[in-house]
Amino acid sequence: MESLKIGFSIVNANPPLGIGLWGYYVPRFAKGFLDDLEIRTLVLNKNDTLIALISVDCCGLYENVCDRYVELIEKETGISKDNIFLSATHTHTGPLIEKSTAFVADMNLVESYTRFLGERIVDSVKIARNDLAPAKMGYIVGYAPERVAYIRRYKMKDGTTMTCPTIDDPNIDYPLGTLDQRVNVLRFDRENAASILLVNYGLHADTIGGEMVSADWPYWMRKTIKKTLDGAECIFFNGAEGDVGSTNVHPKGGDMNDTEISFDNEMKSPGMARFIGRAIAGTILQVYDKVKYVEVDDINIIRNDVKVRSNMPDKKDLPLAKKYKELHEAGKDSEIPYTAMELTTVVAEALRMCRLENGPEYFDVRLTGVKIGPVAMVGISGEPFTDIGVKIKDASGWELIMPCALTNGMTGYFPTKEAYDEGGYEAKSSPFHAEVSDKIIDGAIALLHSL
């Protein structure tokens, strides 16, 4: 039986200036660069099976774009399109990718960049495949420190639910959820080559804002790891981050150092990205030398789609939704009687209602499972809440399970069933029915059993 082989690559994916930036409901256009956007690819080879794990610094990749990219990878590299695990890091300071909104200044730029990104992804897979070297694998779980991540949905004292409420709002009561601070780490030690760390942790890459292109906090995590561990490289797959942000609504001590409050009431700045990236790198450094090395007897990848009802609107709510949509797309948000995150919520809800006015009644949600010996990755084509990730991690039969958001598609938020009753931005904007969490958990566990 041949040994596991690992190949790795880093390819630049910077967009042209002037392109629209993706992540908010306000217009932003790239004016410069804080750091480079990258595509990082890990190719695994074992017993003639080739699997490509690809991490792209972007907000997301819609399913139709993913489908084009994986077909291009298959054509150009020979790796089956069914063996591709294509994820977005979810940076909110990356470019639009084939997404038409009122804030696209030049759609030709978006279409051109979408083609360019596909070509660069193919290049990254080619380079990683040519870099294959025998390797051993170890794994370990660390824990992120305080002040890095927070549940961003809150029950307010007046009974309402608010995503990202105003800092120190006296109406804040308690967070609606429990953090999962586990930082999952795979360590691949390669013969005569740099070690590669695969990191999985659930937190929005949304700590900067503004109009400067950046890979957000994952950039600082990767940079710190390479500098500290004698050239070791890092590839990041975001976890169940749908309800997790980096803003402390009750800041104390030095929490406000080198940061500012954004238009949507969150703590954002390049300094925040640096702090969080270094903090997660610190977690990795604490556990790096204590990984448990395991035998990788085989590798495998499969997909299991689940059918979920859509969150279609009540007809009586459509007139107001259409009015808000028209105002928003005309650049007249000031005429909508809300501000900050409440404005974002009603706009997102209105757009969801208008988009689903005539269906479809059901969606297929993509789940992708990867087996690397006793370790599994579960790719989910959207943004699951923390509780969904925790229940997937609790599935039996594996030494480590890593849920990965925004993989092989970007279809929206996957809130818990309770969140639909509670309210908040994520549930109101989600195109999926409240059954979606159960469907994803059951589908993921079935997928793990199949692996």
Mean pLDDT of 339-344: 92
How high is the pLDDT of residue 300? 98
Mean pLDDT of 213-230: 97
How high is the pLDDT of residue 100? 57
Residue 94, classed as helix, strand or coil, is: strand
Residue 122, classed as helix, strand or coil, is: helix
Pairing of strands 292-294, 400-404: unpaired
Burial 220-241 (b: 16+ CB within 10 A, else e): bbbbbbbeebeebbbbbbbbbb
The first and second tokens of residue 440, run together, are: 């994803």
DSSP-assigned letters across all residues of 177-194:
S----EEEEEEEEETTS-
Distance CA 353, CA 314 (A): 8
pLDDT exceeds 60 at position 239: yes
Main-chain phi, psi angles of 377, to 5 degrees: -115, 140
Average pLDDT score, the chain: 96
Main-chain phi, psi angles of 42, to 5 degrees: -120, 120
Of all residues in the chain, what percent carry a pLDDT higher than 90?
94
Which residues, in sequence order, are CB contacts of 36 under 8 Å at separation 6+? 12, 13, 14, 215, 219
Residue range 26-65, pLDDT digits in tens: 899 999 999 999 999 999 999 999 999 999 999 999 999 9
Helices (H), 58-180: 63-77, 107-130
Residue range 74-115, pLDDT digits in tens: 999 999 999 999 999 999 999 999 865 657 778 899 999 999
Residue range 305-332, pLDDT digits in tens: 999 999 999 999 999 999 999 999 999 9
| Residue ranges of E strands in 318-394 | 362-365, 367-372, 375-380, 383-384
